[in-house]
Each structure stands twice: as structure tokens, then as C-alpha cells.
């Protein structure tokens, strides 16, 4: 006769299964908090990066505006300088005119080129020139242009610039920071290439008068004026001292 053995050990399935379910439920809030914390960190990092980009953009825009304001200020200063030079009568005006035909009995040219060159002085000791030219040809060969050159007493000629010609054959040019008024020798109206470094075909030429600078001479005169009273006061003090010694004797 077979004997059947019955397992009488207690079953803990409910206890173990219940503990598993309760452990996962306890971990859910921690996971949620961790996810929220990570999302908050990501948001803060993104916000900081966005603010940094905005700050960089604002700084770049501010630098651009500052550069634009500086450039506009320089342009306004240049325009004011050009206006003051355009309204100034200068120290002298020289007429540069093409020569008459050398042949006897030849008719004078009806559209002879000539220019009025006004020469002035700057407070820095440099000089400036303003050119009004007339009777210029509008169709020069080879893309050339009319130029005005200043020949100083020493050194290479200085290009005043290409003359802008209108539909009437008249033109204008102006330039500052030229050699002083006591260093000029002559002016030449020429036909050159736009990037010419030396005068080319000379159309007309005129000598510049010998002038003495007046802007730089004002300072020494003021110093002499200031020194004269001082020397007079010293001489007067010496005379008074001598008279006092004579009285004491």
C-alpha cells in the first residue's frame, strides 16, 4: 500500500506578491520627482543658453549701432569741413588757361579749356584747393579724365583729383591737406588715366604766387605779446630797485 505525502508547508505567495506590488508603488513618486527634476534642469539650461544668445545678439547690435553712429559723425564732420571750404574765399585764385594757337592768323578756339583754382590755408599749416573748370571735353579717348595737379617747390606733384564733368563741360574738384601756401610752385590741368601717379598730357598750366603762412604765425605773435609785458615788468622792477638803492645812499 502506497503512502501519499502531503506538503504541509505554508504558502507565502500572497505575502510575496503583495510586497512586490507595494515596492513598485513606493518607487513611482521618486521616479516622477526625478523626471520633473531632470526636466527642470533641462529647462534652466535651455533658458540660460537662450539668454546668453540674446545677450550676444544685443551686444553685437549695440556695437553695430555704435559703429554706424561713429561713421555718421565722421561723415557729418567731413561734410561740414567741405561746406566751410566751399564757402571760403581762400588766399588767392589762379586762372589756369590753355594757350592760344601759335600760328598767326589762326582763329582762337571756341571751346578752350580753363579753370579757376582757389587756394586757401588750413589752421594746421596745410593748404587746400578748390577747382572750377570749364570748356572740358566729355568724350576723352581711352577712358581718361581731366585731373588737376599741384607742383610743390620740392617733391613730386600732388593729384588734386579727377574733375567731375557735367553735361555742359564744366567740372569741380576739391582737396585738403596739401603742402603749405609757402611751398606751392604751379598748378596743371592735365588729361590722365583715373589711377595716374604722375601728370600726363598738360592742357593748361599756371604758376602759383609766393604766399606767407598766416595760420602758424598767430601763435608766435601771441607768445611775443605775452613775453613783452613780462620783460617790461622785469625792466621796471630793475629800475625801481636801482632808484631805491640810490635813495638809500
Residues 6+ apart with CB under 8 A from 154: 183
pLDDT band at 209, cuts 50/70/90?
A: very high
pLDDT tens track for 11-40: 545 545 545 555 666 777 777 778 888 888
Percent of the chain with pLDDT over 90: 32
Compare 223 and 28 and report the one with higher pLDDT: 28
CA–CA distance, 150 with 198 (Å, rounded to integer): 11
Rounded CA Rg of the chain: 46
pLDDT band at 224, cuts 50/70/90?
A: very low
> By the 8 A CB rule, do 187 and 117 touch?
yes
What is the average pLDDT across 241-245? 45
Q: What does the block give as the cell for 29?
A: 513618486
pLDDT tens track for 40-63: 888 888 777 777 788 888 888 888
pLDDT tens track for 101-159: 555 555 555 568 899 999 999 988 899 999 999 999 888 888 899 999 999 999 999 99
Helix or strand run (H / E) with residue 151? strand 145-152
Query: Residue 24 has what pLDDT?
Result: 64
Residues 6+ apart with CB under 8 A from 208: 92, 94, 119, 150, 184, 185, 186, 187
Compare 224 and 111 and report the one with higher pLDDT: 111
Output the DSSP codes for 7-21: --PPP-HHHHHHHHH
pLDDT tens track for 105-117: 555 555 688 999 9
Q: What is the mean pLDDT of the chain?
A: 77
Query: Residue 49 has what pLDDT?
Result: 78
Amino acid at each position: 500500500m502506497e503512502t501519499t505525502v502531503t506538503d504541509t508547508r505554508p504558502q507565502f505567495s500572497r505575502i510575496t506578491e503583495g510586497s512586490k506590488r507595494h515596492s513598485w508603488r513606493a518607487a513611482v513618486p521618486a521616479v516622477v520627482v526625478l523626471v520633473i527634476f531632470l526636466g527642470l534642469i533641462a529647462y534652466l539650461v535651455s533658458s540660460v543658453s537662450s539668454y546668453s544668445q540674446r545677450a550676444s545678439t544685443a551686444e553685437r547690435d549695440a556695437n553695430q549701432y555704435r559703429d554706424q553712429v561713429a561713421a555718421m559723425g565722421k561723415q557729418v564732420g567731413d561734410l561740414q569741413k567741405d561746406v566751410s571750404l566751399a564757402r571760403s574765399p581762400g588766399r588767392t585764385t589762379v586762372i589756369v588757361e590753355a594757350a592760344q594757337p601759335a600760328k598767326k592768323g589762326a582763329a582762337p578756339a571756341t571751346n578752350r579749356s580753363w579753370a579757376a583754382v582757389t587756394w586757401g590755408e588750413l589752421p594746421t599749416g596745410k593748404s587746400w584747393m578748390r577747382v572750377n573748370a570749364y570748356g572740358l571735353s566729355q568724350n576723352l579717348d581711352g577712358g581718361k579724365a581731366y585731373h588737376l595737379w599741384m607742383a610743390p617747390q620740392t617733391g613730386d606733384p600732388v593729384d588734386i583729383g579727377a574733375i567731375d564733368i557735367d553735361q555742359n563741360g564744366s567740372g569741380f574738384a576739391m582737396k585738403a591737406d596739401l603742402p603749405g601756401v609757402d611751398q606751392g610752385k604751379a598748378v596743371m590741368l592735365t588729361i590722365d588715366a583715373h589711377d595716374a601717379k604722375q601728370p600726363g598730357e598738360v592742357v593748361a598750366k599756371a604758376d602759383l604766387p609766393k604766399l606767407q603762412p598766416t595760420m602758424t604765425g598767430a601763435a608766435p605773435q601771441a607768445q611775443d605779446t605775452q613775453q613783452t609785458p613780462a620783460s617790461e615788468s622785469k625792466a621796471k622792477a630793475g629800475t625801481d630797485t636801482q632808484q631805491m638803492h640810490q635813495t638809500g645812499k
